[in-house]
Amino acid sequence: MQAVALYPDGPELRVIEAADPVPSDDEVLVRTRRVGIDGSDRRIVAGDIGGDPPDGADHLVIGHEAVGVVEDPNGSDFETGDVVVPMVRRPTDETSRFAETGELDMAPPGTFSECGITGAHGYMAEYFTADPEYLVPVPDSLADYGIFVEPASIAEKALDQSFAARSGFDWRPETAFVLGNGNLGLLAIARLSTGEEFDRTYCLGRRDRPDPTIEFVESVGATYVDSRETELPEFPDVYEPADFVFETTGYPRHAIDAVGALGPNGIVTLQGIPGDSTFEVEGGGFHSDLVVNNKGVLGVVNSRRPHFEAAVEWLQTVPTAVLDDLVSGIYAVEEVEDALLDGDETIKTVVSFEK
Amino acid sequence: MQAVALYPDGPELRVIEAADPVPSDDEVLVRTRRVGIDGSDRRIVAGDIGGDPPDGADHLVIGHEAVGVVEDPNGSDFETGDVVVPMVRRPTDETSRFAETGELDMAPPGTFSECGITGAHGYMAEYFTADPEYLVPVPDSLADYGIFVEPASIAEKALDQSFAARSGFDWRPETAFVLGNGNLGLLAIARLSTGEEFDRTYCLGRRDRPDPTIEFVESVGATYVDSRETELPEFPDVYEPADFVFETTGYPRHAIDAVGALGPNGIVTLQGIPGDSTFEVEGGGFHSDLVVNNKGVLGVVNSRRPHFEAAVEWLQTVPTAVLDDLVSGIYAVEEVEDALLDGDETIKTVVSFEK
């Protein structure tokens, strides 16, 4: 079968001919339909993060946002033809209590591998195998759009954690603010704008009109905020205080400045993973503002089955035209280098294995 | 009656002879037994924070950590002689939804006054009046120790908010770390060391032995950590990662550095309220550490009735010898200036109105 493999030396990306995977006793064989590409794939291929091959292998098959069809249920409860989305993390120690409780997203670094990211092959191949406990069923109507389940599950986890964090009182949020208009930011603004949790939504970017991301933000009913005109701490005065901020930029000042965009009792969730960066902050005000306004900041990484399931629920409510607007290009596997290019017109690119 | 009044010009603190308060229809008359002093009282008296007199008054009666005895129930469900502790916040708008739900601790700044802190008279007077909804009943056994209910309620709120924040998964915390060995820090380390939530506890200070605060920390079974020897981000390596950090120092670097003391999935609660302070931070690492380890930071201010009630529950379980160790001096009202002094031997000072 064809597979997209990253060789660590270089690093070098190649489309290789690999042996078709053979499912072990506990595994299902899945035929891949589509694999989405996000910013972390670009960083992996560039050698910036992750990219470790599985033990004993000389390459890593990339891709972690996939949708496929069950080819061989192999004794599981799945049936041939079922549409499925695979989850990302696998325990390196099966007896880990996070593996037992299905909360690998909360497991400490070093106790798991991440398929297509580091330590375990991903899904950018004609076939992959997976234990059924890591496959989430998806309705046929999402066979093309299942690539959005994994990234949307991150937004679901952020919401889940934030509402949990505010469950100690009668929280009544009204406004949500997404930082960043990359593919995760746009998917999140769609989720938050079309969901029930918030009345008004905003999305931060730094683009001039006309721009497809600004058009998308406005098409889902959100307000575009230009970061060149409005600094985060000015957001409450220029627009209104945010009850929930969802950060996707990986810009390290946002971990501090986003607190200033919140109203009382608000929550920031951070999703970006920046490298080292030293800078000056007005740390006294950051500290006091958190306290006197009962604000909170939560780091959020990865997601678990209920978040995948919530994402599937949400995606079924979204007009396919909205999701189509997020796909800026569909590529054959031989065109993967093009799919990995990033530009002003790029939102979500997809590698398709459909013939 | 005698009252301790802060006049904003100067500011100047005086023991005055004031008219005995007359309860309005909805109010209970309380005879004050004791009033505790904390760091914010010292900052109020120094003119650094709060200190605004109530509308129309030329002075503010200070004191917000009080215990008293009902002198006149005035038609309420209380009986004469009941021991009570007053809560701190009062709504400036009775129709505020935070007043309605009893969650004034979560109300936005500007919508409440704080008795003895700003905008409403406190309790350092022979008598005070209060609506019964702001009085928490205390058993007679705590008549002397009721001054600890209000500060202990802050620790209860921090625990409540933190466990809520981690209710989105199966959190299994083991270790708690209190930053600061002032009177709130010591009360918190007693709470966390004697409670059920954590197996091991640590308290940060910067004192040389022999020292009464170090003795107290060790007497409740906690480990003393000298901040001159161990920087917060080194804490996990030198000791062990903390699951819960309770900050009481008001040192603004702690809002950043405490995240480094946490293990995966840990929560920092901030309680201190520093002034402005600009400094350099490794903000990229702060941001990434929060994300990849699912850490959180919560600001916590004030507390509400369930937190007061939890504090009363806990105080009933604590040997009075432990609480006695926290009281470094009991002063008559005429000695209030001495009670406000702070030194290496000072833990909690108390002004007593008992004759």
pLDDT tens digits for B313-341? 999 999 999 999 999 999 999 999 999 99
| Same domain (yes/no): A68, A158 | no
SS3 percent helix, strand, coil of chain A, rounded to 5, is 30, 30, 40
CA-to-CA dists, residue B111 to A110, A285, B106, B114, B158, angstroms: 47, 21, 10, 10, 22
Sign of CA dihedral A106, A111, A117, A123: negative
Residues B189, B178 contacting (CB under 8 angstroms): yes
Domain count, chain B: 2
Q: Taking CB atoms and an 8 Å limit, are A272 and B290 in contact across chains?
A: no
Apex B288 CA angle, B285 and B293, nearest 5: 120
Q: B244 lies in which domain range?
A: 155-299
- Look at residue A345 and tell me whether its pLDDT is greater than 90: no
* Cα atoms in the 13 Å half-sphere on the side-chain side of A318: 30
pLDDT grade for A342, boundaries at 50, 70 and 90: very high
| Same domain (yes/no): A132, A197 | no
What residues of B are designated binding site? 40, 114, 150, 181-184, 206-207, 300-302
Residues A227 and A172: their CA atoms lie apart, in Å, by: 27
Q: Taking CB atoms and an 8 Å limit, are B270 and A281 in contact across chains?
A: no
Q: Per residue in A48-82, is it b (16+ CB within 10 Å) or e — as a string? A: eebbbbbeeeebbbbbbbbbbbbbbbbebebeeeb
B304 occurs within a structural domain: no
Residues B187 and B147: their CA atoms lie apart, in Å, by: 11
pLDDT grade for A95, boundaries at 50, 70 and 90: confident
Give A305's contacts in chain B (Cβ within 8 Å).
none
Averaged over B238-267, what is the pLDDT?
98
| Same domain (yes/no): A292, A157 | yes
Among residues A234, A237, A74, A264, the alpha carbon closest in space to that of A166 is found at A264
B311 occurs within a structural domain: no
Give yes or no for A237 touching B (CB within 8 A).
no
For residue B159, give the chain A residue with the closest CA: A168
pLDDT of residue B355: 75
Q: Which two tokens stand for residue A167?
A: 């469950």
pLDDT of residue B64: 98
Under 8 Å CB-to-CB from B96, ≥6 apart: which residues?
B104, B107, B111, B112
pLDDT of residue B55: 96
Apex B206 CA angle, B201 and B211, nearest 5: 85
B59 occurs within a structural domain: yes
- Look at residue B115 and tell me whether its pLDDT is greater than 90: yes
pLDDT of residue A229: 97
Give yes or no for A272 touching B (CB within 8 A).
yes
Residue among A100, A117, A269, A297 with most chain B CBs within 10 A, to mutate: A297
pLDDT grade for A253, boundaries at 50, 70 and 90: very high
Q: Classify residue B170 as exposed, middle or buried by CB count within 10 Å of its CB (0-12, 13-18, 19+).
A: middle
| Same domain (yes/no): B183, B267 | yes
pLDDT of residue A313: 98
Domain boundary among A299, A329, A344: A299
pLDDT of residue A94: 81
pLDDT grade for A273, boundaries at 50, 70 and 90: very high
- Look at residue B83 and tell me whether its pLDDT is greater than 90: yes
Q: Containing H/E element for B83?
A: strand B83-86
Averaged over B135-145, what is the pLDDT?
97
CA-to-CA dists, residue A170 to A11, A108, B103, B114, angstroms: 51, 31, 8, 21
A96 occurs within a structural domain: yes
H-type alpha helices, chain B: 39-45, 97-100, 149-165, 183-194, 212-219, 235-238, 253-261, 283-292, 305-317, 320-326, 336-340
Averaged over B233-254, what is the pLDDT?
98
Residues A4 and A327: their CA atoms lie apart, in Å, by: 20
| Same domain (yes/no): A99, A182 | no
pLDDT of residue A334: 97
Averaged over B147-157, what is the pLDDT?
98
Residues B159 and B136: their CA atoms lie apart, in Å, by: 20
A146 occurs within a structural domain: no
- Look at residue A250 and tell me whether its pLDDT is greater than 90: yes
For residue A160, give the chain B residue with the closest CA: B168
What is the phi-psi region of residue A75: left when phi exceeds 0, alpha when psi lies from -120 to 50, beta otherwise?
A: left
CA A265 to chain centre: 26
| Same domain (yes/no): A335, A238 | no
pLDDT of residue B343: 87
Averaged over B107-134, what is the pLDDT?
97
A24 occurs within a structural domain: yes
Q: Taking CB atoms and an 8 Å limit, are A282 and B281 in contact across chains?
A: no
| Same domain (yes/no): A186, A269 | yes
Q: Containing H/E element for A83?
A: strand A83-86
Give yes or no for A295 touching B (CB within 8 A).
yes
- Look at residue A355 and tell me whether its pLDDT is greater than 80: no
| Same domain (yes/no): A342, A291 | no
pLDDT of residue B96: 87
Size of interface A-B (CB pairs under 8 A): 194
Count of Cβ atoms closer than 10 Å to residue A310 Cβ: 21
In chain B, % of residues over pLDDT 70: 100
Averaged over B298-302, what is the pLDDT?
98
Q: What is the pLDDT of residues A310-327, one digit of tens each?
A: 999 999 999 999 999 999
CA-to-CA dists, residue B46 to A46, A96, B43, B334, angstroms: 57, 54, 5, 18
Count of Cβ atoms closer than 10 Å to residue B91 Cβ: 16
CA torsion, ordered B67, B68, B74, B79, to nearest 10 deg: 100
A307 occurs within a structural domain: no
Give yes or no for B167 touching A (CB within 8 A).
yes
Q: What is the pLDDT of residues A187-237, one digit of tens each?
A: 999 999 999 999 999 999 999 999 999 999 999 999 999 999 999 999 999
Among residues B18, B23, B32, B6, the alpha carbon closest in space to that of B117 is found at B6
Q: What is the CATH number of the domain that holds A114?
A: 3.90.180.10
Q: What is the pLDDT of residues A73-91, one digit of tens each?
A: 999 999 999 999 999 999 9
Q: What is the CATH number of the domain that holds B185?
A: 3.40.50.720
B263 occurs within a structural domain: yes
Residues A102, A305 contacting (CB under 8 angstroms): yes
pLDDT grade for B234, boundaries at 50, 70 and 90: very high
Question: Among all chains, which residue has been given the structure tokens 């006091």?
Answer: A288
Q: What is the pLDDT of residues B180-206, one digit of tens each?
A: 999 999 999 999 999 999 999 999 999
Mean pLDDT of chain B: 97
Residue among B117, B291, B300, B304 with most chain A CBs within 10 A, to mutate: B291
- Look at residue A127 and tell me whether its pLDDT is greater than 80: yes
| Same domain (yes/no): A110, A179 | no
Apex A272 CA angle, A50 and A310, nearest 5: 95
| Same domain (yes/no): A204, A87 | no
Give B293's contacts in chain A (Cβ within 8 Å).
108-109, 299, 301
pLDDT grade for A120, boundaries at 50, 70 and 90: very high
Give yes or no for B168 touching A (CB within 8 A).
yes
How many angstroms separate the CA of residue B307 from the nearest CA in chain A? 11
| Same domain (yes/no): A82, A204 | no
| Same domain (yes/no): B174, B248 | yes
Q: Which two tokens stand for residue A265?
A: 């009792």
Edge-to-edge strand ranges of the sheet holding A200-205:
A223-226, A200-205, A175-179, A242-247, A262-270, A296-299, B296-299, B262-270, B242-247, B175-179, B200-205, B223-226
Q: What is the pLDDT of residues B53-80, one digit of tens each?
A: 999 999 999 999 999 999 999 999 999 9
pLDDT of residue B20: 95
Reported ipTM: 0.97
